[in-house]
Structure 1
Amino acid sequence: MKKIILATGNLGKVRELNAMLDGHYTVVSQKQLKVIEVPETGSSFIENALIKARNAASQSQLPALADDSGLEVEALEGEPGIYSARYAGENASDEENITKLLKAMESHTNRKANFCCAMVFVRDAQDSDPVIIERRWYGEILKTPIGKNGFGYDPIFYLKEYDCSSAQLNPETKNRISHRGLALRDLLAELSLIE
């Protein structure tokens, strides 16, 4: 089985992607290989994912998979977007980011939102033809957090068709229907790893 480096330090993402990649690749996280992270200076999810993937591939000499994802809220003109992880400041906790978002949403009746995931696979740091997939998962912003599963904004992301928050889904269901699940499945199909 091929070895691939996962270009993220986010343990929630490592868990999710490991579960989804099972059987296709042996996954190592960049933390395990002591990859030094670089600033995410891109202006889009795709640019940031490419920066992370090329950096991990360069330092590890392995093919790299990176994703950059975040929450886009319609009433907030797409915020927090690429700043989702640090919406309430550098090193902000999930709770701090959620609190800031709920405060920003207090005066809005439009609760529409989506998670966006850009996923990038590079064969090496100089790969001139990276595989790039971007997918969205649509829902609404709740007024109060519900549920204990997942991470990030999951407790306030409401899914009408399931009548629950993303944090109330079991991991298998979430991995199947989420922005990250959709992007990874399409990426694997692109790489001809799924029949």
Structure 2
Amino acid sequence: MKQLLIATKNANKLSEIKTLLGNDVQVESLLDYPNFAEIAETGTTFAENARLKAQSAIDFLQIPTLADDSGLSVDYLHGQPGVRSARYAGDHDDAANNAKLLAELGGVPLEKRTAHFSTTMVYLDPLKDQEIVVTGKLEGLISLVPQGHDGFGYDSLFYVPTLHKTLAELSLADKNKISHRGSALRQFVEEYNK
């Protein structure tokens, strides 16, 4: 795997993926292509959105591309925010999204705040006509108040009971060991190397 485009303009997500891939891969992202238009995430599933992102990048650049779509699903909210996680209260506005989530769960006790993070990654290689699709999941609870200062998105609200911490209280290395994205990426590397 010599060259790989990560179909994202999210610097935080890119940093996580680069850390997990290590130094053996030459990684670019859509941040390296400022003229690349925003991709409309019109899919109804994480897989559909990941495939849209990967195919859009392939159409433009014709290089092997890995795209993911991730989100938070809260059981009490019937799976919301789901595929709209980044746009729950405003377009990629983490503070507004977190505030809306806490408001929606106002008065709900911690034990009923079960949730999970999901990610689907789609890899497309136009040169080999290859496709790899993997998924990852992390179970947890939505805490009553934000805790921790690392991470992004809903990390300060996502409490991992086995660790007694939110994702925002973990180092990037510790987060990557258990995260939905880390799990999916390890599966991708295994599939790719078969």
Which TM-score band (shorter chain)? over 0.9
- State the Cα distance separating 1:27 from its structure 2 match: 0.5
Contact 1:114-1:139 within 8 A present in 2 as well: yes
Hey, what's the Cα distance between the residues in 1 that align with 2:143 and 2:76?
A: 13
* 2:6 aligned partner: 6
Q: How has the CA–CA distance of structure 1 residues 107 and 126 changed in structure 2, closer, same or farther, with 3 Å as cutoff?
A: farther
Give the share of equivalent positions with the same residue, in percent.
40
What amino acid is the match of 2:126? Answer: D
What amino acid is the match of 2:125? Answer: R
- State the Cα distance separating 1:92 from its structure 2 match: 4.5
Q: 4+ residue runs of structure 1 moved beyond 3 angstroms?
A: none
Please provide the CA RMSD for this pair.
1.6
Hey, what's the Cα distance between the residues in 2 that align with 1:154 and 1:83?
A: 16
Unaligned runs of 5+ in 2: none
Deviations for 1:4-59, whole angstroms, at most 9, x for unmatched residues?
11101111101100111113411001120232222011010000000001111221
* TM-score, scaled to structure 2: 0.94
Deviations for 1:54-112, whole angstroms, at most 9, x for unmatched residues?
111221111000000000000000000000001002x2421110000000011323110
* 1:120 aligned partner: 122
* 2:18 aligned partner: 18
Contact 1:54-1:124 within 8 A present in 2 as well: no
* 1:105 aligned partner: 105
- 2:146 matches 1:145: yes
- 2:73 matches 1:72: yes
* 2:159 aligned partner: 158
SS of residue in 2 equivalent to 1:155:
coil
Q: Which sits farther off after the overlay, 117-126 or 92-101?
A: 117-126
SS of residue in 1 equivalent to 2:80:
coil
Contact 2:87-2:97 within 8 A present in 1 as well: yes
- 2:135 matches 1:134: yes
Q: How has the CA–CA distance of structure 1 residues 126 and 107 changed in structure 2, closer, same or farther, with 3 Å as cutoff?
A: farther
Hey, what's the Cα distance between the residues in 1 that align with 2:183 and 2:191?
A: 12
Hey, what's the Cα distance between the residues in 2 that align with 1:58 and 1:154?
A: 33
* 1:29 aligned partner: 29
Contact 1:48-1:68 within 8 A present in 2 as well: yes
Hey, what's the Cα distance between the residues in 2 that align with 1:54 and 1:14?
A: 18
| Mapping of residues 165-176 of structure 1, within 5 Å | 165-176=166-177
- State the Cα distance separating 1:125 from its structure 2 match: 9.0
Hey, what's the Cα distance between the residues in 1 that align with 2:9 and 2:61?
A: 15
Equivalenced residues, count: 191
Contact 1:49-1:68 within 8 A present in 2 as well: yes
* TM-score, scaled to structure 1: 0.93
Hey, what's the Cα distance between the residues in 2 that align with 1:82 and 1:37?
A: 17
* 2:182 aligned partner: 181
